[in-house]
Structure 1
Amino acid sequence: MALITLSGYPSSGKTRRVTQLKAHLQQRLQDPSYNGPKLTVAVISDDSLNIDRNAYDDSRAEKPARGALFTAMQRQMGQDTILIVDAMNYIKGFRYQMYCAAREFKLRVCTVYVVAPPEQCKEWNAVREDGRAYKPETLDNLIMRYEEPSSMVRWDSPLITTLWSEDDLPIDQIWRAVTEGTVKPPNAGTQGVPKAPTDALHTLEHTTNAIVAAVMAEQAASGGLGGAVALSLSATLKPRMTLPYRTVTLSEMQRMKRQFVTVHKKAITLGTVEKGAVDWSEESVADKFVTYLEENMKP
């Protein structure tokens, strides 16, 4: 249904905002006036995944921590869930990755930017008694490297900002974003590529060889008169094509066959960007090759 990404400095009060946000959303979903789909509100965070704050002390430990967060997020995404990701999400590239995953699941997206001055974050971090404080040098480093969200880029939009000094969230804006916002289609670059069947290469070679042989046989029988002919490849497969009014040599046929096979072999081995299912049956390959021959045979 929706993905809500929290972003902000470490120790800026994001978890407090998430607690408020979850309560507001659950209250609205249970309100008698709500007539939308039945939804649940879920939260994932470093704490729920038992990711220690020491993971942010160096980049080598931080990378798998972000990976664990991203994997958990993907597992909980769904059309029946409003998922809130309570983490710093301070790298714009990581927020973009989350945005692309949400598009794959056809979810609405929303970014909540929790703003607090660095001095306030350091003060709150120093007085934490839950064992989840950052080391002072780690906190300074994370604040310095923080990449602020921007409403000008699509992966941070819609961007809703809340200040540390405000008592509550702009819940009406967030509610509209997750229930009425635009659902963007999956990014073409992240969509799965249709795969060819395992016997596609064999079908390609066998069918094109059969057509070359059939064309040469038809020419020998007609004396190179050309015109419309039916190529008998099997009892059920007899594609029709128009031969030029001249004799097509075997070397010419072999050259066009090699060009056709090379192009389509690449599509089989590397995948294809064609939308929908790709037909690699004998009938389809025969029709494509016949069309290719007609277009490339000179009169």
Structure 2
Amino acid sequence: MAQDTILIVDSLNYIKGFRYQMYCAAREHKLRVCTCKEWNASRQDGRAYAPETLENLLLRYEEPSSMVRWDSPLFTVTWADEDVPIDDIWKAITEGNVKPPNAGTQAVPKAPTDALRTLEHTTTTMVAAIMSEQSASGGLGGPVTLPLSSMLKPRVNLPSRNITLSELQRLKRQFVTVHKKAITLGTTEKGAVDWSEESIADKFAMYIEGNLKP
């Protein structure tokens, strides 16, 4: 499926659920979609269904209806029709309305495979860096730069008091627990989901600032 491709599906269209699945896939890719049907007997390539197979299909056939969104627009062409609405079909394919994706048709963004390790490592390193900085400054507090690596130096605003290791570990456990769920189950948050060390460090710094008592 692609926006510069016209895809014709001639398989299992007699099942309503399959037509709905194609409708959802088209919405996910922001494409137009329409449904057509044709007599099995019109196939001249030797690949038509056998009579008993066609009979079984007809017994399970769920006729398309233009009243439901995944069968609309619907063009029905019977064996006796001499005039096929080619212009209308072409207009529906190339100019018809494109339905926007919704929560039910959008793929859930997944975190990278090393996201859990990055989450645990980054938060643990930040706790150790905060304790080291506090020891060096005597607990003065204020804006502090944490040298986690040569490229990663998040800033955090600490209260002017002695922060205990148990406080930071408690906040770390809470932060990791919340974000582990998002990593495991995925998320439908708007925008890109960033699980890089820099993003996790910035979020954890904000979490610490918002939850450490003065």
**TM superposition score normalised by structure 1:** 0.58
The residue correspondences of 1:257-276 to structure 2 (distance < 5 A) are 257-274=172-189
Does residue 22 of structure 2 align to residue 101 of structure 1? no
* Distance apart, 1:207 and its partner CA: 2.0
CA RMSD of aligned residues (A): 3.3
Q: Structure 1 pair 258/90, CA: closer, same or farther in 2 (3 Å)?
A: same
> Match for residue 179 of structure 1?
94
> Match for residue 83 of structure 1?
7
Q: Structure 1 pair 214/221, CA: closer, same or farther in 2 (3 Å)?
A: same
Using the alignment, how far apart are the partners of 1:180 and 1:229 within structure 2?
57
- The alignment of Structure 1 onto Structure 2 pairs a total of residues equal to 210
Using the alignment, how far apart are the partners of 2:50 and 2:55 within structure 1?
13
Q: Select 1:196's aligned residue among 112, 134, 137.
A: 112
* Distance apart, 1:204 and its partner CA: 2.3
Q: Structure 1 pair 99/208, CA: closer, same or farther in 2 (3 Å)?
A: same
What per-residue deviation string (whole Å, max 9, x for no partner) do you get for residues 83-114 of structure 1? 33335611111111222333455432111255
**TM superposition score normalised by structure 2:** 0.77
Q: Select 1:208's aligned residue among 123, 144, 167.
A: 123
* Distance apart, 1:181 and its partner CA: 1.0
Using the alignment, how far apart are the partners of 1:232 and 1:139 within structure 2?
71
Q: Select 2:36's aligned residue among 82, 103, 112.
A: 112
Using the alignment, how far apart are the partners of 2:196 and 2:34 within structure 1?
45
Using the alignment, how far apart are the partners of 2:70 and 2:201 within structure 1?
45
Using the alignment, how far apart are the partners of 1:228 and 1:263 within structure 2?
26
Does residue 171 of structure 2 align to residue 249 of structure 1? no
Following TM superposition, the consecutive aligned residue runs of length 4 or more in structure 1 with deviations greater than 6 angstroms are: none
Q: Select 1:295's aligned residue among 199, 210, 214.
A: 210
- Whichever structure has more strand as a proportion of its residues is 1
**Structure 2: gaps spanning 5 or more residues:** none
**Structure 1: gaps spanning 5 or more residues:** 1-76
> Match for residue 51 of structure 2?
134
